[in-house]
Amino acid sequence: MLRRRSASLFALVGLTLIALAVLLLISPTAAAAQEATPDPTLVNLPVENGRYFDTSGLCATCHRNMVDEHGNDISFDTAWRATMMANSGRDPYWRAGLRREVLANPDFSAFIQDKCATCHMPMARTTSNLATGLPLQVLGEGGAIQPGTEYHTLALDSVSCTLCHQISDTHLGEREGQSGHYTIDGAEDQFAHARVIYGPFAPDAAQAAFMLASTGGLQTQSDHITSSELCSSCHELFTPYFNVETRELAPVTFQEQTPYTEWLNSDYRNSQTCQACHMPIVDGLAQAASLGNPIPAMRTGVSQHTLLGGNVYLPRILQAFGEELEVTSTDEQFQQYIDLTRQQLQNDTARVTLQNAAVTDGTLSFDVFVQSLVGHKFPTAYPSRRTWLHVTVRDVSGAVVFESGSYDDYGRISGNANDDDAQGVEPHYDVITAPDQVQIYEPIMGDTAGNVTTTLLLASQYLKDNRILPQGFNPATAPIEIVPWGDAATDSDFVGGSDRVTYQVPVTNAAGLTIEVEMVYQTLGYRWAENLREYADPVAAPEIVDFLRYYEAVPNTPEFVTSATVTLP
């Protein structure tokens, strides 16, 4: 996946000469910064000038200790290192899931490991492919997750700085450039270390020379680095699957995750990119680097590298078992990331309101109106994610007279058919009349025989997909891969941007009833963890055993999103 990008020999030589001059004439301030005692939080960042990629430690040299005009720390490495992007290669659930896929399909082990590493260990996988022509081995003896192996450092550096900043605009936003089929810009000649590093700003000659001399990166301005199409390289994923009866690979693929296409079919496509929400622009002036000659001036339009989503559970595990998982983030940095993720879930994800509450002939009736605030389905991407409505009705004394959607410390939902039975599917509801009916917005995958599955290489279809649609989404015009499946497809209240669910509850006394609806979110649905247990063998599947140990230690309770309360007179 390497494409040659020819650079003018004259221009390259010229920059090299400027770089040498810059290093000789480096400012005292910059020199002092280079010689200063390193920040202890940076000690564990890997510093490696590889054949195709630099690791994060090299980039952090100039992209740390950065502030905005208000004095806030907006350092790229500080924000990035606790994110799931920075820890995709360490993610213990991904490792466990990868092991399960390999055990379920042993004849395709090399293909599975290499394919999954394309986006979880992209620098290691790309380097292995280009340098040797061989797929990357992730698991087992000699695998990239093992300390001391050739690609371990690159593997654990995960989705690092130079990976995203070296992706070219080739086939961006097209199927050929998705599912990990990104193209890395570079050259395999005597100027191999002059790798193109794309950024949103026009490079200053002196700064470009400084970067070239210190990292071998050739600064190049390109708007594609700020486009949603860049993100679709890995976050638009179609996976192969087996026919369960013939054990043959199907000639088509399955839409495992499609946030880009969902965004493309929403109103947000005309107003906000992926980066606008997940890498928001700093308010006012800010530094884009903190070291160089001269020291970079403040500018507008600098993106924060917070890369927030909705995943709180895996960062909590990484925080709890950091030393074992070789993390480079401190507890405090993980906690800041967790806190910011919770703020995003609670402030920028969804709203619920209670409407039309009334008691008639001994029946309490009310509507829960759900409104999406995001530019794709909620939840979106990896299909283990779900959100649901926890509804409680209490009488005037506070006693519960009705409850739907309660849960335990494992995030197991009371009354949910799939949590109770691996082959169960909880329907999408328009009207709820009993406590064991729960409105869960989720995808449920099925194999070619129609069985419920959480094994990706068996998933050929969605048996249910009622994830909340983004504003402007029209099922009549959207591609078939992203339309609702199941009862939601015929629910007239389930439309782009919202859903309405009616509850009808028998009551004996109408006075003073209090209705509360709480929307909660779970990164890892109960069944997605429980289905690993049958493969838990310390010899054959140590990654699964490790993950289940973390899972038992860190409660998988859902995250609060939003709520509403109404009390009847």
Percentage of the chain with pLDDT > 70? 91
Confidence of residue 195 (pLDDT cuts 50, 70, 90): confident
Question: If 0-12 CB within 10 Å is exposed, 13-18 middle and 19+ buried, where does residue 511 land?
Answer: exposed
How wide is the angle at C-alpha 217 spanned by C-alphas 212 and 221, nearest 5°?
A: 105
Confidence of residue 42 (pLDDT cuts 50, 70, 90): very low
pLDDT at 155: 98
Listed range (210-224, 226-240, 340-354) with the worst mean pLDDT: 210-224
Confidence check: pLDDT of 7 > 80: no
pLDDT at 216: 87
pLDDT in tens, 378-437: 999 999 999 999 999 999 999 999 999 999 999 999 999 999 999 999 999 999 999 999
For tokens 């009622």, name the residue: 466
Confidence of residue 186 (pLDDT cuts 50, 70, 90): low
User: How far is Cα 336 from Cα 382, in angstroms, rounded to an integer?
Assistant: 24
User: How far is Cα 418 from Cα 466, in angstroms, rounded to an integer?
Assistant: 15
pLDDT, average across residues 43-58: 89
| Helix extents (H) in 349-462 | 417-420
User: How far is Cα 122 from Cα 164, in angstroms, rounded to an integer?
Assistant: 10
Percentage of the chain with pLDDT > 90? 85
Confidence check: pLDDT of 264 > 70: yes
User: How far is Cα 544 from Cα 534, in angstroms, rounded to an integer?
Assistant: 10
pLDDT at 39: 53
Listed range (32-36, 117-121, 189-193, 547-551) with the worst mean pLDDT: 32-36
Helix or strand (DSSP H, E) at 522: strand 514-522
User: How far is Cα 97 from Cα 46, in angstroms, rounded to an integer?
Assistant: 26
pLDDT at 297: 85
pLDDT, average across residues 68-84: 96
Please give the DSSP secondary-structure letter assigned to residue 227. S
Confidence of residue 294 (pLDDT cuts 50, 70, 90): confident
pLDDT at 37: 43
pLDDT at 13: 42
pLDDT at 354: 98
Report residue 261 as tokens.
């296409």
* CA 141 centroid distance within chain: 28
pLDDT at 333: 96
pLDDT at 3: 42
For 361-483, strand residue ranges (E) read 363-372, 386-394, 400-404, 431-432, 440-441, 443-446, 461-465
pLDDT at 5: 41
pLDDT at 470: 98
pLDDT, average across residues 85-91: 98
Greater confidence, 187 or 80? 80
**Global pTM value:** 0.93
pLDDT in tens, 402-417: 999 999 999 999 999 9
For tokens 């490790």, name the residue: 546
pLDDT, average across residues 18-33: 40
Confidence check: pLDDT of 252 > 60: yes
pLDDT, average across residues 107-134: 96
Greater confidence, 470 or 31? 470
User: How far is Cα 162 from Cα 544, in angstroms, rounded to an integer?
Assistant: 31
CB 436 within 8 A of CB 443: no
CB 115 within 8 A of CB 137: no
User: How far is Cα 340 from Cα 344, in angstroms, rounded to an integer?
Assistant: 6
pLDDT, average across residues 175-188: 85
Confidence of residue 296 (pLDDT cuts 50, 70, 90): confident
pLDDT, average across residues 346-366: 98
Radius of gyration of the chain (CA): 25
User: How far is Cα 16 from Cα 39, in angstroms, rounded to an integer?
Assistant: 30
pLDDT at 145: 98
Query: Whose CA is closest to 120, among 93, 88, 75?
Result: 88
pLDDT at 144: 98
Confidence of residue 43 (pLDDT cuts 50, 70, 90): low
pLDDT in tens, 89-120: 999 999 999 999 999 999 999 999 999 999 99
User: How far is Cα 544 from Cα 214, in angstroms, rounded to an integer?
Assistant: 41
